[in-house]
Amino acid sequence: MTSSIHKTGTTQRPSLDAAIEGLRRAVRGELLLAGNPAYEEARKIWNAMVDRHPALILRAQDVSDVVQAVRFAKDHRLPLAVRGGGHNIAGNAVCEGGLMLDLSRMNSVKVNATTRRAIVGPGATLADLDRETQAFGLVVPTGINSTTGIAGLTLGGGFGWTTRKFGMTIDNLVSADVVTANGALVHASERENVDLFWALRGGGGNFGVVTAFEFALHPLGPQVLSGLLVHPLDEAPTLLKQYRRLVAEAPDELTCWAVMRKAPPLPFIPQEWHGREVLIFALCYAGDMAAGEKAAAPFRAMGKPIADVVSPHPFAGWQAAFDPLLTPGARNYWKSHDFVELGDGAIDALLAAAGRLPGPECEIFIAHVGGAMARVAPEATAYPQRQSHFIMNVHTRWREPTQDETCIGWARKLARDMAPHAAGSVYVNFMPDDEQDRVQLAYGANYPRLAAIKHRYDPDNLFRLNQNIRPS
C-alpha cells in the first residue's frame, strides 16, 4: 500500500497508511488505491486532457461516507476533489496526490408528483433525473447533455431548453443537504442557513459537498416541439441578424440557440454536406404543441435550410439528442463570454472564426437566455447575470495531443476577438482551469458576500478545487 501512495506523488507520513486502513473500515463505499484494477477507470473523467492521479479514491455509498471523506482530507491536509458527473471542463473532479470523492453511486431520484418535488442525489445525471420526472410529465430545468451531473450543473447555475419558461436550475432549488468543511451535515433553504443557501445557488462547490438536492417540478412533456434547422454557413451573416431579432420577440416558452460547426454525418443531413461548415438553429418549445408550431414558424421561414427536422419529440430524448457529439474520451478546451447584445461586430468575429474551425468536432454555440431567469434580481442568488443575454461557448474538441496547440490557440484567439463585444461576465461552468483570474468577474457585485460566506464555512479553503472563491 505504501508504494502505491508514493507513485501518486503524495508525501507519505508514517501514520497515513494506518489512517487509510481506518478510513476503509469506516466507510461503506469502495476505497481505491493505485494498483487496484478499478483505480485507473475511476480516475478518468469526461475531458481526456485531464490526467491526474489521486492518492486514493472513495466511491461513496452514503452521506456518512461523505462525512468521513471530508474529515479525512481535512485532518491529513490532502487536496479534496469532488466528482458528481465528472463533466467539469476544468477537470476539478480529480486531483493529483489527494483524495478524490466520487459521488456517482449516490444517484437516487425520488419524485413526489403530488407536491411536485424531487429529492436528487449528488451523483445523479440529467438522464437519471429526466427519466424519473418525465414518468409523471414533470421537469426540472437543467442543461442539454444528459450525461452531465446534476450537482455541478446546479451549483454553477444551470441553464438549458426550459430556462426561459421555468428559470435556471438554481431558481428551482428548494433546499440542499450539505457536508461542510468541518464535517458537519447541515440543511440549507430559505429558512435555514440562509446565507449558505444563497451561496450554493451559483457559487459552485466552494462551500461544501451537497448530498441531496430538493427541486421544484413543472408540468411538461412527455412530448415537446423541438429539432434542428441546418443552413449553409455562407448564409449566416444574414440569418444571424434575423435570429437576434426573432429571439428578442419570442415567447418565454421558445428557446432557440445557434451553433456553428462542420456538419456531422447525421442521416437527415444530405451526404454532400457532411464535413462542411454549417449554421444550425436548435429550438425547443416548452408548452402547447400548436402554440409551439406558431412560435417556431418565423425561425423555420428563415432562408432555405438544408434540413428542417423540427417536430414533436419525447422531451427526455431531446435532452439526450446531443449526447453522441459529447461522449467521453476526447480532449476538450472551452472559452466563454456573455453578451447583452449580439452586435454586428460580434457576428463578424464569430463568422471569421467559424470559417477556420480547427477540427470536425469543434463548434461555437450561442445560447439565448432570458424570460423567467431574467425576472430574478441579480442579488437574489450568487449567480448574478440575470438580464436577457447571449452566452457563447467556444467548444474546442479533438482527439490527438499533437493538435493541442492549434485547437487551444484557435479558441483563445476567438475569445480575445469577442472580448470587446462582451458584457465582462462569464458562466462559471464553462470556465477552463486557466481562468482563475475571471472568477471575480463571473460574480461581479456578489463576490464580496460570497467571500465572506466562504470564510464562515470554509476558512482554510479545503474546497478549493473549483472556480475558487477565496475566504475573505
Q: How high is the pLDDT of residue 4? A: 38
In a domain, 248, yes or no: yes
Q: Is residue 357 one of the residues assigned to a domain?
A: yes
Are residues 358 and 279 part of one domain? Answer: yes
Residue that finishes a domain, picked among 219, 234, 264: 219
189 and 252 together in one domain: no
One domain, residues 148 and 187: yes
Which CATH number is 181's domain given?
A: 3.30.465.10
Measured CA to CA, the distance from residue 65 to residue 185 in angstroms comes to 12
pLDDT score for 13: 52
Element (H, E) at 453: helix 447-457
Which residues are CB-contacts of 302 (< 8 A; sequence separation ≥ 6)? 229, 231, 239, 242, 243, 246, 281
Distance CA 412, CA 425 (A): 16
Instruction: Please tell me whether residues 119 and 185 are part of one structural domain.
Output: yes
Residue 126 CB contacts under 8 Å (≥ 6 apart), including other chains: 142, 143, 145, 146, 147, 148, 149, 150, 153, 319
Helix and strand counts by DSSP (H, E) for the chain: 15, 19
Among 102, 133, 152, the domain-final residue is 102
Distances (CA, A) of 66 to 35, 210, 358: 23, 9, 42
Nearest in space to 176 (alpha carbons), one of 57, 64, 63, 316: 63
Task: Find the CATH number of the domain harbouring 322.
Answer: 3.40.462.20
Shared-domain flag, residues 160 and 78: no
Q: Is residue 147 part of a domain?
A: yes
Show the low-confidence residues of the chain (pLDDT under 70): 1-14
Same-domain check for residues 282 and 201:
no
29 and 93 share one domain: yes
Judgement on whether residues 168 and 259 belong to the same structural domain of the protein: no
Share of the chain above pLDDT 90, in %: 96
Please report, for the domain that includes residue 7, its CATH number: 3.30.43.10
pLDDT tens track for 83-132:
999 999 999 999 999 999 999 999 999 999 999 999 999 999 999 999 99
User: Which pLDDT score is estimated for 6?
Assistant: 38
Last residue of a domain, one of 87, 102, 117: 102
Which regions of 204-343 does DSSP assign to beta strands (E)?
A: 209-216, 218-219, 223-232, 254-262, 277-285, 307-308, 311-314, 331-339
Considering the domain architecture, whether residues 359 and 245 belong to the same structural domain is answered as: yes
8-state DSSP, 171: G
- What letter does residue 13 receive in the DSSP assignment? P
- Is the CA virtual torsion 407, 410, 413, 415 positive or negative? negative
The answer to whether position 444 is within a domain reads no
CB 261 within 8 A of CB 170: no
Is 323 domain-assigned? yes
Residues 234 and 350 in one domain: yes
24 and 52 in a single domain? The answer is yes
**Residue numbers of the domain that contains 187:** 109-219
- The answer to the question of residue 129 being in a domain is yes
Residue 1: predicted pLDDT:
35
Specify the pLDDT at position 8: 42
Same domain, 8 and 93: yes
